[in-house]
Amino acid sequence: MLVAEAVGRALAASGIDVVFGLLGSGNLTVTNAMRDAGARFYAARHEGGAICMADGYGRVSGRVAVCSVHQGPGLTNTVTGLTEAAKSRTPVLVLAADTPAAALRSNFRIDQAALVEAVGAVAERVHGPDTAMADVARAVRRARVERRAVVLMLPLDVQAAECDPAPAPGGPDLAPAAPADAAVEAAAATLRAAERPAIIAGRGAVLAGAGPALRRLGERTGAVLATSAVANGLFAGDPYAVGIGGGFSSPVAARLLGEADAVIAFGAALNQWTTRHGTLIAATARVVQVDRDEEAIGAHRPVDAGIVGDAATTAEALVAALDGHASGRRTAALAEEIAAGAWRHVPYEETARLDPRTLTIALDEMLPLERTVVVDSGHFMGWPSMYLRVPDADGFVFPQAFQCVGLGLGNAIGAAIARPDRLTVAALGDGGALLALPELETLGRLGLPVLVVIYDDAAYGAEVHHFRPMGQAVDLAQFPETDFAGLADAAGCRGLEVRRIEDLEGVREWLADRDRPLVLDARVDPDICAEWLEEAFRGH
């Protein structure tokens, strides 16, 4: 069998049943082989969209997500989305055709391995017919077990050779890393002594499935629960959960976290975003950080103690170590204070134009709670993060590790394919929507029942709000109005312009049949500036 066919079959046999991509001569045979072996192929219109779809699919499904591209430009077009996936540790496998080693003068020739390694992805290669099956198994395993973005180079001459197609073994499952007893005991002592502890959970806690154990640890210690932005939803429904820690924290949440005398982080980097440049956590608080990676501990801010271990295993060990401990911190009054302090109850002054907060609150009430909220980057991004509830952490996709505008739409398409049982809501800015415009055609062609909400201020609002107060000209970051509803209709979606809250009646009608994607062009007041942004600008 040809190596190209054998590779496709082996990938499908390893359990991969969804492939995103854009076909060229270099990846057609391998992609066909995957399709013939039962995998579903979703064609993007730009490789930048395909990699984002794989990223979103991987984040929501927890499975290895595959993206298949042509050599040279097919791969260079993935690089921005690939960087996001690599930084976010999404288990993505890119199948990249490659020029033969001897094709020195091929137009397509670049150093593909150096390119992807430069952005933090892992370069793997099908080296030859004899190693092809082992090469595939290694690439899949590295993506799955190490949670890395892996690019598997498929040189054309090797693809065209004959090989034995017997798949290589995938390797054993690994048990989560258990923490050292002494480290658990020290952290338990800190929590026992604390009067107002706080637990901050990050994506590591989500991936470890630590939510239930952390809720139990919260009960035992009396801790308030918070998440980093990427882990939003992990503590949904818990009366002592204050939401996201950081710039998106409500005033009550910020106060409660600031009052904490002990903070224990699980799989959270404790970066500038989660800690408001360190100001959210009191200087006197004892900080304990739990992470499975040694290098994560203390990387962003000093900590008093570190525990190397899986978030769920460590949380369970702490619950056991604190057996018999009781705390009087969790009173009914505290729960009431947290509930009353949620963003949606924080008053704001409306202007005559469409207020993004009013818009988002109205959508939150109208849309089913079984939803996946996907947020692109920009000034608008706080509104969906603060005002749209999500049912759990899988219901929130926040591809911001590269702080890149334009990755949201592709991520939303991948998320919608991963969880067809949930309504996917893609929250984009007008700038991000236009960066991803080719994938509007993909959305329309696939007919996915996605709700796209474009917070349309006809500007790169983040730049306007950043520089206008400094007296700088911002006209280069402002645009004439874009007819997104017209673009949506032309791409096979349904477009709806929203200038007043009453226009959302069209969303209610759409919810009843969801026959195709709905794109809201929400013409929000461009002069409303989010408070969190001022704080965020200090990070530049």
Q: Which of residues 361-380 bind ligand TPP (CB under 6 A)?
A: 377-380
Task: Please choose, out of 25-33, 92-100, 208-216, 423-431, the segment that lies near ligand TPP by the rule CB under 6 A.
Answer: 423-431
Q: Where are the alpha helices (DSSP H) in 249-395?
A: 251-258, 272-275, 311-321, 332-340, 356-366, 382-387
CB atoms within 10 A of CB 538: 10
* CA nearest to 412, candidates 83, 115, 57, 136: 57
Residue 360 vs 377, nearer CB to ligand TPP: 377
Regarding 472 and contact with ligand TPP (CB under 6 A), the answer is no
Please name the amino acid found at residue 151.
Answer: V
| Least gap, CB of 520 to Mg ion (angstroms) | 14
The correct pick among 124, 291, 439, 457 for binding Mg ion (CB under 5 A) is: 457
Q: Which of residues 269-308 bind Mg ion (CB under 5 A)?
A: none
Answer positive or negative: Cα dihedral of 460, 465, 469, 470. Answer: negative
Please name the amino acid found at residue 182.
Answer: A
Q: Alpha carbon of 436 to those of 404, 406, 462, 480: distances in Å? A: 12, 5, 18, 18
| Least gap, CB of 403 to ligand TPP (angstroms) | 5
Regarding 403 and contact with ligand TPP (CB under 6 A), the answer is yes
Tokens of 87: 């930084």
Regarding 461 and contact with Mg ion (CB under 5 A), the answer is yes
Total residues interacting with Mg ion, rule: CB under 5 A = 6
Residues 433-462: x/- map of binding to ligand TPP (CB under 6 A)?
----------------------x-x-xxxx
Q: Where are the alpha helices (DSSP H) in 96-165?
A: 112-117, 132-145, 156-159
β-bridge partners, 521: 454, 497
Residue 220 vs 379, nearer CB to ligand TPP: 379
Regarding 406 and contact with ligand TPP (CB under 6 A), the answer is yes
The correct pick among 430, 441, 497, 521 for binding Mg ion (CB under 5 A) is: 430
Task: Please state whether beta strands 150-155 and 122-125 pair in parallel, antiparallel, or not at all (unpaired).
Answer: parallel
CB atoms within 10 A of CB 352: 6
Regarding 521 and contact with Mg ion (CB under 5 A), the answer is no
DSSP category for residue 521: E
Residue 240 vs 273, nearer CB to ligand TPP: 273
> In the bound complex, which residue of the shown chain has the CB atom lying closest to Mg ion?
429
Residue matched to tokens 């994560």 = 296
| Least gap, CB of 432 to ligand TPP (angstroms) | 4
**What CA–CA distance (Å, rounded) separates 306 from 270?**
12
| Least gap, CB of 382 to ligand TPP (angstroms) | 9
Write out the residues near Mg ion by the rule CB under 5 A: 429-431, 457, 459, 461
Write out the residues near ligand TPP by the rule CB under 6 A: 377-380, 403-406, 429-432, 455, 457, 459-463
